[in-house]
Amino acid sequence: MASLIRRVWREVYAALQAYGAIYISGAQPAEHTPPPGTAPPKAAPRGGPPAGHPERLCPEVALSPVERALKRQLEAGP
């Protein structure tokens, strides 16, 4: 009886692994791949969070020195 339960459990476990792999698989087909030798498309400009968002900057508050340094690094690009 124990061996039957073990065999059934092994099959159920394998089925659940296969089912879960569908949802966490990193292999996704590319929507559009540019031809070799062409430049990659430019990224859209970042507009920031929408109005009223809690992470929106207040224009009346000056940036701290650390924030200014981070802003310079982000604007400089990679």
Full-model pTM: 0.32
Report whether 49 contacts 56 (CB < 8 A). yes
Instruction: For the chain, give the percent of residues with pLDDT over 70.
Output: 72
Q: Is 13 helix (H, G, I), strand (E, B) or coil?
A: helix
Q: What's phi and psi for 32, nearest 5 deg?
A: -150, 125
Distance, CA of 4 to CA of 9 (rounded, Å)? 8
pLDDT in tens, 29-49: 556 666 777 776 666 666 777
Report whether 62 contacts 70 (CB < 8 A). no
Rg of the chain on CA atoms, in Å: 25
- pLDDT for 43 equals 64
Residue 1, pLDDT above cutoff 90: no
